Structure 1
Amino acid sequence: MRPAPSSFSRTQAHSRLTLLRANRISQRRHVGISTTPTRTPPPHSLLPTGMLLRSLLIATVSSNRILLTPSLAILSFFTKPHSPLFSVDKNPILNALFKSTVYRHFCAGEDVLEVKNTIDSIKDMGFKGVILTYAREVVIEASEGHEVGVGVKQLKEEGIPTQEPAFDEGIEAWRQGVLETASMLEEGDFLALKFTGAGVGVMQALKDQTSLPKQMQDSLDAVCQRAIERKAGILIDAEQQFVQPAIDDIALSLMRRYNRQQAIVYNTYQAYLKSTPSTLLDHLHCAKGEGFTIGVKLVRGAYMNSEPRGLIHDTKQQTDDSYNSIAEGLLQHRYKDLGPDTTSGFPKVNLFLATHNKQSALHAYQVQQQRAEAGLPLTKVQYGQLLGMADEVSCSLLQLAADPRTNVPASPEAYKCLSWGTLGDCISYLFRRAVENRDAISRTKVEYHALRKEVWRRLKKAITFGVAGRY
């Protein structure tokens, strides 16, 4: 069993955030008395020491192409072992090595107890909550290196089913895994769903844009009810464009049923697609006309290597501009022909910004702050990053939440996205994270230098205290 996070490390991180919040309250009480600026510690100062050192180790590899290329080859080899000797589940030496490094850094745990411990340690750092997903339902498409549901792989290997079975084992396995995942959530957390993880029957229905099997429809209702019981939300993953239109339709249908007040169900919109602004506009009109709250999870996109190139913006800057303009429009309650001073008005929106881009996160925070200071209506917005990645972005948001200058109604809520399952289940997920670091090596270098600087800062502080303690 994976050991629980160090109580010293968890307490240390929690104490730092508590101190920041105490300073925030104190400065509010004494506003105008002191003009001495408070020096904000670096974002990585919030990380427990163990997490900081693991981050530095992984960033050292992922920021150096000479080290990263063979590391990717090794990790890819272990995703499909041809012998028990190379199985991370069956070889105890490999299991211990992987679990103590990349698995512990990027994954939540193998069972309920381990996952709960990880969630507690994250919330102790000040995060509002977590997004939890079950790794078994996701595989890696070897030709492109991206995540897909198991149904995508099965469809390629097994072909189109001749008829819908009376009982689909793939759907039942998906249902049980998702419900077990949902049972680990607490109030304010999110459950991430990948529809193609339910097997080939669901995959074919999505591809053909036909009705989902009745068994899958019932499973979705059960999952939504479980999320409501846990007071949690549901984030439906975006997938490849040959199934995305059907996913959009299902997401809207679920929103009509379950988002009558606040958003329970969120659909994911990929800013790198040229069609996303118009697709989102159609969905906003639908929400306004039918009176439900639309849940919008905004990402940049994850399938660039497999989608037709013409569907995607020509440059990264265009994708960045699209992401920021969509986020700003939703926060400003003004998007295309929708707005407070138009005949159409503006629908109720709950926004989840999933981004590792610090500029995008800070821009959204600034827009929200300006509206709060002006007394304007606010869109509910939350921010999320993957566990083990973009900690500078996550910790910057935690610091802003504790900053005395932050307007409380617009205080940012940060989340971490976690994947759970056995090491064997998660090995493909870990490979995907490594591929992402390869594709974002410039950003990883920035993270590496920031992590190294923080380790050096703590080391100097420890040496200084050690010397001072002798006198």
Structure 2
Amino acid sequence: MNGSKISFDDTAVAFGDKSDKALRLMYFLFCTMNYPLITKVGIWCTSTVLKLKLPVKGLIRKTLFFQFCGGESLEGCRTTIEKLKQSNIKAILDYSVEGENTEEGFEANKLEMIRSLEYAATSENIPITVMKLTAFIDFDLLIKAQSGLSFTENEKNKYIRFEKRVEAICAKAVKHGKCLYIDAEESWIQKAIDNVVYAMMRKFNKDKAYIFNTYQLYKKSALNDLTNAHQELRSMNCHLGAKLVRGAYMEKERERAEEMGYDDPIQPNKMACDRDYNLALDYCIDHIDSISVCAGTHNEDSSMHLAELIDSKGVDRADSRVFFAQLYGMSDNISYNLAKEGFNVAKYVPYGSVEKVMPYLMRRAEENTAIAGQTSREFLLVKKELKRRKG
């Protein structure tokens, strides 16, 4: 397989499992997202009608939800997961419910993550699940932990319960032989998250990487954070699990840095971010004996860089220590063409009830509009495939 020409332009492969009807829906959605004002108005209208409890869930279910989510429940994702399997693409189960801030809600999220892992255990096509640690603890407690402020007795007990929730989920992942990706979050809570994640790595990543931390390469410090974490874990004979992304909180990070008068943690420009992202890929492949890596990216250049790196370094394209990952409903030209060439590819498959995943869906719409060229690329690829099919 090594040496085969890889192309991200083959729309027949990219959309091979899409019906004409599904393709026309994609055309409509990405065409709409090409217009930021229309997208903002649409998001506002959707939020409003949901708050007013107007009967629009059916419309959302057939449009945004259909495009970006796998199902409303674990069992509801089965069709999506089986369809991905036919194209040699794995699934990353993602319970995309946000906004809990009670102990009861945190406990319910823990139980849902455990159910998610038990469901993953029934399928070889679900090697990975993902979670945010803010699903299990109050955001302000993480701020306090990172700031080094003293906890009250009540807060201390809450933090202990939080750590136990995370450990129970990690133990369940390892028991079922599944990888668990832990998402990155805002820089003012990230070190507190890192402390918990690395403790889990030291406990569970002795034979291989089960627990993964996420590195946002749009941060100036991310490449150093990655290499330092690896060297420390390797000195303890533990493996590093690294998911590499560019990042999701740039505007919020810059606004807070300016407001509070500290150095902007974000790279000065896109070129610096792209450089560090590819250097991080280089580092991981150079240390593949003790690092497992997931390239979570919709960037074609970085995806091609990793594909060529795998071949040039003599790493098997099917080596389970290396994965490419994209969001369900996006960048199918990357996912499906890489999978066709024998690389490990996984799609994030979010699930949850329509009203509960709306924050996720709105963020997808906003991000597609905000990322320069992302929606235009998706739209033009769909347009090209529709034209090819007519021909």
Q: TM-score range by the shorter chain?
A: 0.7 to 0.9
1:372 to 290, 314, 319: 314
| Aligned pair partner of 1:394 in 335, 358, 362 | 335
Q: What fraction of aligned residue pairs are identical, expressed as a percent?
A: 24
User: C-alpha root-mean-square deviation of aligned residues, in Å?
Assistant: 2.6
2:85 matched residue in structure 1: 123
> Does residue 182 of the first structure (1) align with residue 128 of the second (2)?
no
Paired residue for 2:44?
76
Residue identity in the other structure for 1:363: H
Shift of 1:366: 0.3
Q: Distance between the aligned counterparts of 1:384 and 1:391, measured in 2?
A: 11
Match of 1:100 in 2: 62
Q: How many residues align?
A: 364
Question: Which one has the largest radius of gyration?
Answer: 1
Cα deviation 1:285-333 (Å, max 9, x = unaligned): 1111100010000000100011136111111111011101111122123
**Matching of residues 30-429 of structure 1 within 5 Å:** 42-49=12-19, 50-63=21-34, 65=35, 68-79=36-47, 81=49, 84-86=52-54, 91=55, 94-127=56-89, 129-136=90-97, 138-139=98-99, 150-151=100-101, 168-185=103-120, 186-187=123-124, 188-200=126-138, 203-209=140-146, 213-308=159-254, 310-333=264-287, 348-372=290-314, 380-401=321-342, 412-429=343-360
Q: TM-score, normalised by structure 1?
A: 0.72
How far is the alpha carbon of 1:177 from its aligned partner?
A: 2.1
Task: Tell me what 2:153 maps to.
Answer: none
2: distance between equivalents of 1:438 and 1:73?
Answer: 12
Amino acid aligned to 1:329 = Y
Distance change (3 Å), C-alpha of 1:171 and 1:450: closer
Deviates more, 1:171-180 or 1:284-293: 171-180
In structure 2, relative to structure 1, the CA distance for the partners of 1:82 and 1:105 (3 Å cut) is closer
Q: Structure 2: any 5+ residue segments left out of the alignment? A: 149-155, 258-263
Q: CA deviation at 1:453?
A: 1.2
Quick one: distance in 1 between partners of 2:50 and 2:130?
31
CA–CA separation in structure 2 for the residues paired with 1:45 and 1:81: 33
Is residue 452 of structure 1 aligned with residue 383 of structure 2? yes
Q: Deviation at 1:421?
A: 0.6
Structure 2 CA distance for aligned equivalents of residues 96 and 130 of structure 1: 25
> Distance between the aligned counterparts of 1:438 and 1:389, measured in 2?
13
- TM-score scaled to structure 2, two decimals? 0.86
Q: Runs of 5+ in structure 1 lacking a partner?
A: 1-23, 29-38, 140-149, 155-167, 334-345, 402-411, 461-471
Which secondary structure state, in structure 1, belongs to the residue aligned with residue 93 of structure 2? strand
Question: Which secondary structure does the structure 2 equivalent of 1:262 belong to?
Answer: coil
1:372, distance to aligned residue in structure 2 (A): 1.0
Counterpart amino acid of residue 77 in structure 1: C
Deviation track 1:232-268 (CA, whole Å, cap 9, x = no partner) reads 1100010001100011111110001111111110000
Check the 8 A contact 1:294/1:347 in 2, yes or no.
Answer: no
Q: Which residue of 2 aligns with 1:11?
A: none
How far has the Cα of 1:347 moved from its partner? 6.2
Secondary structure of 2:94's partner?
Answer: strand
SS in 2 for 1:279: helix
Q: Is the 8 A contact 1:79 1:428 kept in 2?
A: no
Give CA-to-partner distance per residue, 1:14-60, whole Å, 9 cap, x none.
xxxxxxxxxx79x99xxxxxxxxxx9774424332244333222121
Task: Return the letter of the residue paired with 1:169.
Answer: E
Helix, strand or coil at the partner of 1:110 = coil
